[in-house]
C-alpha cells in the first residue's frame, strides 16, 4: 500500500483522512468488546462489510459537520486509531470530540493525548470551533487523564447514567475552549499541511 496521506503532524503521531484501505484494521478494532464499551457504544460483532457500509457515507461527506481522521504513529505511519470532530459549523461554534486508540498495546503511551491536542489545534484554528465538548465515563481513567493532559477540563457529571460491563458509571462531561487552549499545544515537528479531501 502507498504511504497514507497525512495532513496534521505532531511529534509522535500524525493524522490524515480516513480511507477504505484501513477497513481490515478498523474491523479488528471494532470487534474488541472492551474498546467499544469504553467508547460508550453497545458491542456487536461486525463484519468488514458492515464497517464499510458505515464508513462510505462519511467518506462521501454525507454527514454535515463531521471531520474524521486516521491516527498514525510516527515515524513509520502505522495506523493506531481514529478521531473525529462532530457538529462543526453550527452558529454556536460548539463541536464534539471523539477518539479511539484501537489496539490496547498502543494505549497509555501518550498517543491519545497528543492526537487530541493536534486535532484540537486544527479544530480551533482551521474549523473555527470555539468550544469543544466530549463525554466519557468515570470508569475510564485513561481517557479522563489523556483528555486533561490535552487541555480538556471536567465540567460536570451525570451520575450513574451508564452501565459498562455490569458496572454502573457516571458520565463525565468535559470541555476545552479555544481561548484557553495553550499555544504551545500546537502541532510540532513537520509543518502542518491541510489538504482538502472528501473524507473530511
Ligand X SMILES: CC(C)(COP(=O)(O)OP(=O)(O)OC[C@H]1O[C@@H](n2cnc3c(N)ncnc32)[C@H](O)[C@@H]1OP(=O)(O)O)[C@@H](O)C(=O)NCCC(=O)NCCS
* DSSP per-residue letters across 99-126: EEE-SGGGTTSSHHHHHHHHHHHHHHHT
Give the SS3 label for residue 191.
coil
Residues near ligand X (CB under 6 A) are 35, 38-39, 99-101, 107-113, 136, 140-143, 145-146, 149
CB 15 within 8 A of CB 118: yes
Classify residue 160 by burial, with Cβ atoms within 10 Å: 0-12, 13-18, 19+: exposed
Which residue has its beta carbon closest to ligand X? Answer: 112
Closest to ligand X by CB, 24 vs 33, is 33
To ligand X, the closest distance from the beta carbon of 156 in angstroms equals 15
To ligand X, the closest distance from the beta carbon of 100 in angstroms equals 4
To ligand X, the closest distance from the beta carbon of 9 in angstroms equals 17
Closest to ligand X by CB, 100 vs 187, is 100
Closest to ligand X by CB, 13 vs 129, is 13
Is it true that the peptide bond before 75 is cis, omega within 30 degrees of 0? Answer: yes
Closest by Cα among 186, 176, 68, 70 to 125: 186
Closest to ligand X by CB, 108 vs 128, is 108
To ligand X, the closest distance from the beta carbon of 153 in angstroms equals 14
By DSSP bridging, strand 8-9 and strand 13-17 are: antiparallel
Closest to ligand X by CB, 164 vs 197, is 164
Give the SS3 label for residue 188.
coil
The DSSP code for 186 is S
To ligand X, the closest distance from the beta carbon of 1 in angstroms equals 24
Amino acid at each position: 500500500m502507498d504511504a497514507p496521506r497525512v495532513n496534521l503532524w505532531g511529534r509522535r503521531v500524525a493524522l490524515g483522512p480516513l480511507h477504505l484501505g484501513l477497513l481490515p484494521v478498523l474491523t479488528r478494532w471494532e470487534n474488541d468488546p472492551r474498546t467499544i464499551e469504553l467508547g460508550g457504544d453497545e458491542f456487536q460483532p461486525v463484519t468488514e462489510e458492515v464497517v464499510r457500509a458505515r464508513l462510505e457515507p462519511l467518506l462521501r461527506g454525507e454527514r454535515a459537520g463531521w471531520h474524521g481522521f486516521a491516527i498514525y504513529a510516527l515515524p513509520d505511519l502505522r495506523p493506531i486509531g481514529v478521531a473525529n470532530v462532530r457538529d462543526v459549523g453550527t452558529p454556536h461554534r460548539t463541536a464534539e470530540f471523539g477518539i479511539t486508540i484501537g489496539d490496547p498495546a498502543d494505549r497509555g503511551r501518550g498517543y491519545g493525548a497528543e492526537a487530541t491536542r493536534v486535532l484540537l489545534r486544527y479544530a480551533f484554528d482551521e474549523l473555527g470551533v470555539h468550544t469543544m465538548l466530549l463525554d466519557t465515563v468515570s470508569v475510564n481513567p485513561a481517557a479522563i487523564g489523556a483528555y486533561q493532559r490535552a487541555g480538556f477540563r471536567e465540567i460536570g457529571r451525570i451520575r450513574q447514567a451508564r452501565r459498562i460491563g455490569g458496572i454502573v458509571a457516571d458520565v463525565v462531561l468535559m470541555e476545552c475552549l479555544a481561548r484557553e487552549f495553550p499555544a504551545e499545544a500546537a502541532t510540532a515537528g513537520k509543518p502542518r499541511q491541510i489538504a482538502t479531501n472528501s473524507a473530511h
